[in-house]
């Protein structure tokens, strides 16, 4: 969001494998002990959707233009958290060995991921972005999940509307993959 908005930002890498997110100094900023955490002065925000909504309001970019658009954006972001992210992220974690999963549990993750990708694909069949003709924080939020689908074992060729939507987002000025924008070391 910050990169797409052209806003300058510093980045502090948090090494999850070493438990940096559970240390007192990090928990003082993010009571949930999770990433991401956005710090602006004394304000510390956690949870991606909350951060995206705050930035959209503060920067005046990628926000909804009407009450209806804002409601649709929030609807997609809540769906992302509830239905899209679990199947994709858990499948990826199981494939990469971050999370243990029996074959039956891995199959549930895969089924959930495929179902969510099918919903996303159907929604994008007749619309270039999730809420109309321009990208919003709903697209930024959902792209953040879709980016990891192939690492979770999902073949995005089966979801042509999702693939085309991802290419549209990747062409936006300021776009970069998480690996490009958020390196494994802190960046002032």
Query: Which domains does the chain show, CATH number per domain?
Result: 2-61 (3.40.30.10), 67-170 (1.20.1050.10)
pLDDT surpasses 80 at 183: no
In this prediction, residues 71-79 reach a mean pLDDT of: 98
112-146 confidence digits (pLDDT tens): 999 999 999 999 999 999 999 999 999 999 999 99
Let me know: does 55 contact 5? Beta carbons within 8 Å. Answer: yes
Mean pLDDT score across all residues of the chain: 95
Coil/strand/helix, residue 141: helix
The model carries a pTM of 0.94
CB atoms within 10 A of CB 130: 25
Q: What angle do CA 147, 152, 155 make, to 5 degrees?
A: 75
Query: What is d(CA 41, CA 19) in angstroms, rounded to the nearest whole number?
Result: 24
Q: What is the DSSP letter of 128?
A: S
Question: Which of the listed ranges 8-12, 78-82, 183-187 does the model predict with the highest average pLDDT?
Answer: 78-82
- Per the structure block, which two tokens stand in for 98? 């971050």
In this prediction, residue 187 carries a pLDDT of 75
Residue 62: closest CA among 126, 125, 120, 4: 4
Residues 142-176 pLDDT 10s: 999 999 999 999 999 999 999 999 999 999 999 99
By three-state DSSP, how is residue 38 classified?
strand
């Amino acid at each position: 969001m910050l990169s797409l908005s052209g806003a300058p930002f510093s980045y502090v890498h948090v090494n999850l494998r070493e438990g940096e997110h559970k240390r007192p100094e990090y928990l003082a900023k993010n009571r949930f002990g999770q990433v991401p955490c956005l710090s602006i002065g004394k304000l510390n925000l956690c949870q991606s959707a909350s951060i995206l909504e705050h930035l959209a309001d503060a920067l005046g970019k990628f926000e909804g233009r009407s009450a209806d658009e804002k409601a649709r954006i929030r609807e997609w972001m809540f769906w992302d958290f509830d239905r899209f992210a679990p199947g994709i992220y858990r499948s990826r974690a199981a494939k990469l060995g971050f999370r243990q999963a029996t074959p039956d549990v891995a199959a549930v993750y895969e089924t959930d991921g495929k179902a969510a990708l099918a919903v996303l694909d159907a929604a994008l069949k007749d619309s270039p972005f999730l809420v109309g003709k321009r990208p919003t924080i709903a697209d930024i939020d959902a792209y953040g999940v879709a980016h990891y689908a192939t690492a979770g074992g999902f073949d995005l060729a089966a979801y042509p509307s999702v693939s085309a939507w991802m290419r549209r987002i990747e062409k936006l000025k300021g776009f970069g993959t998480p690996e490009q924008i958020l390196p494994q070391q802190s960046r002032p």
